Amino acid sequence: MSNYALIPLQIFSLLYAIVIHESAHGYAAFKMGDKTAYYEGRLTLNPIKHIDPFGTIMVPGLLILLGAPFVVGWAKPVPVNPANFRDYKKGELLVSLAGPGANLASAIVFTILYHLITPASSLPTTSVALFLFMLLLINIVLCAFNLLPIPPLDGSHVLQILLPERWARKFRNMSQYGFIIVIGLIMLGAVGMYLRFVMFFYSLLSGLPLTQILGYAFGG
């Protein structure tokens, strides 16, 4: 299948991954006592409620057209008010992990479905198999990317909860530089190396063909 034919699969896969990610954040917050996302209608899988023109459309679209080594994007952040949590630290931790956790769970489900319709260690040959492959890849990428301990990614919130308050306060002061740090690490190739390692590890656990994983996820 040509690279251009893969674009619709990449778009729909990314849209699913970011919607399930944000919905999971909102649902976890709701279960911990914060109904902000519920009142704003964000506890839904309706993509229209989550689309961010820049992060959902422009950034991934540009990355796809430019043939970037991997595609990332984001939806509108689900509004969360930690002051409403019944247990602040537990709430912050669970809400932060809910998004990446939903992506990981999705990747596992799509991996199982892929193996059910594709012979062991084989490459995707049908449109359905290829779509499942793209879904599991993008969900793995989004999970791993968001677990990086760099503001404003989810991993940074987890790290703040685990750090002593003195160090957590200093870490929070770095948040204004977080986006610049993320872009810098992407341009330097550090994020790509990290994601390749994650893909390699996941291929060992799942039995997926590593060459094809790297080919579709990173363009070779």
In tens, the pLDDT along 96-146 reads 999 999 999 999 999 999 988 887 656 677 788 888 988 998 899 899 999
Q: If you average pLDDT over residues 37-54, what whole number do you get?
A: 87
Closest to 32 (Cα-Cα) out of 76, 98, 121: 98
In the numeric block, the tokens 């929070």 are attached to: 172
**How many domains, in total, are found in the chain?**
1
Residue for token pair 């060992």: 204
pLDDT of 10 > 90? The answer is no
Are the C-beta atoms of 143 and 119 separated by less than 8 Å? no
Confidence bin at 61 (pLDDT 50/70/90): confident
**What pLDDT sits at residue 60?**
76
Query: Looking at the chain, how many residues does it have?
Result: 220
Predicted pLDDT at 70: 61
Q: 22 catalytic, yes or no?
A: yes
CB 13 within 8 A of CB 103: no
pLDDT value at residue 218: 59
pLDDT higher than threshold 70 for residue 216: no
Cα atoms found within 13 Å of the Cα of residue 119, Cβ hemisphere only: 3
Local confidence band at 71 (pLDDT 50, 70, 90 cut-offs): low
In whole angstroms, what is the distance from residue 19 CA to residue 186 CA? 23
- Please say whether the beta carbons of 50 and 19 come within 8 A: yes
C-alpha angle 108-151-180 in degrees, rounded to nearest 5: 115
Confidence of residue 178 (pLDDT cuts 50, 70, 90): confident
- Residue for token pair 């251009």: 4
Which residues does 18 contact at the CB level (< 8 Å), separation at least 6? 50, 55, 56, 73, 74, 75, 142
Residue 127's pLDDT is what? Answer: 81
Mean pLDDT along residues 157-186: 83
Average pLDDT, the chain: 84
- CA dist 135 and 144 (Å) reads 14
Domain with 214 in it: 3-218
* Choice among 22, 40, 92, 165 that is catalytic: 22
| pLDDT bucket at 53, cuts 50 / 70 / 90 | confident
15-25 in b/e form (b: 16+ CB < 10 A) is bbbbbbbbbbb
> How much is the pLDDT for 96?
95
Amino acid (one-letter) located at 119: P
